[in-house]
């Protein structure tokens, strides 16, 4: 009856949530690039990369000035994940880089260290963004929120 009043289930502890957000802020500190993390329970009937692309565009991550946004997507219960980078960063790093980042994240996930895997992934992405899109004090601004986005 009062379903709408129920507290939304949390995927992470407060400490894990803080660690991931801190990793996002750290990753973006030296780059004009943007990193977002989206976590939901299920990714049913859709390939994880297709779902990540859908979310990427719905969050308007393709609107960054240099097209250098990256989405880390995780469906916890379905044990699916993907990393989706906009055309600016994708042209610089290519498919091999994304596959490597995902493989390393999977290693942590297989040990049930989801928050650690996401944090490490975000830090790695930040290093690539820093290399290709270094921070410019005069022109750069944080274009997208740093908080984790939680889906269904």
d(CA 55, CA 38) in angstroms, rounded, equals: 8
Q: What is the pLDDT of residue 7?
A: 44
CB atoms within 10 A of CB 126: 22
Answer whether residue 36 is part of any domain.
yes
Using CA atoms of 148, 32, 68, 13 in order, give the dihedral in degrees to the nearest 10.
-10
CB 39 within 8 A of CB 76: yes
Answer whether residue 5 is part of any domain.
no
d(CA 128, CA 123) in angstroms, rounded, equals: 9
Q: Residue 89 sits in a domain of what CATH number?
A: 3.10.310.50
Answer whether residue 1 is part of any domain.
no
Beta partners for residue 39, in sequence order: 74, 150
d(CA 65, CA 63) in angstroms, rounded, equals: 6
Q: What is the pLDDT of residue 78?
A: 87
Q: What is the mean pLDDT of residues 8-37?
A: 91
The pTM for the full model equals: 0.91
Task: List the domain range (segments joined by +) for residue 68.
Answer: 13-133+142-150
* Tens-digit pLDDT profile for residues 69-126: 999 999 998 889 999 999 999 999 999 999 999 999 999 988 889 999 999 999 999 9
Enter the tokens of residue 91. Answer: 């042209």
Answer whether residue 88 is part of any domain.
yes
Answer whether residue 49 is part of any domain.
yes
d(CA 128, CA 86) in angstroms, rounded, equals: 13
Answer whether residue 108 is part of any domain.
yes
- The count of structural domains within the chain is 1
The residue among 6 and 11 whose pLDDT is bigger is 11
């Amino acid at each position: 009856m009062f379903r709408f009043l129920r507290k939304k289930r949390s995927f992470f502890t407060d400490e894990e949530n803080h660690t991931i957000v801190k990793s996002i802020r750290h990753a973006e500190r030296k780059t004009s690039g943007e990193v977002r993390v989206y976590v939901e329970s299920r990714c049913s009937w859709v390939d994880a990369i297709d779902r990540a692309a859908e979310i990427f565009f719905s969050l308007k991550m393709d609107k960054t000035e240099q097209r250098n946004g990256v989405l880390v997507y995780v469906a916890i219960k379905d044990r699916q994940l993907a990393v989706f980078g906009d055309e600016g960063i994708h042209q610089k790093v290519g498919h091999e880089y994304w596959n490597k980042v995902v493989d390393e994240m999977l290693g942590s996930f297989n040990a049930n260290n989801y928050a650690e895997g996401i944090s490490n992934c975000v830090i790695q992405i930040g290093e690539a963004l820093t290399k290709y899109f270094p921070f410019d004090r005069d022109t750069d601004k944080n274009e997208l929120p740093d908080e984790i986005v939680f889906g269904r």
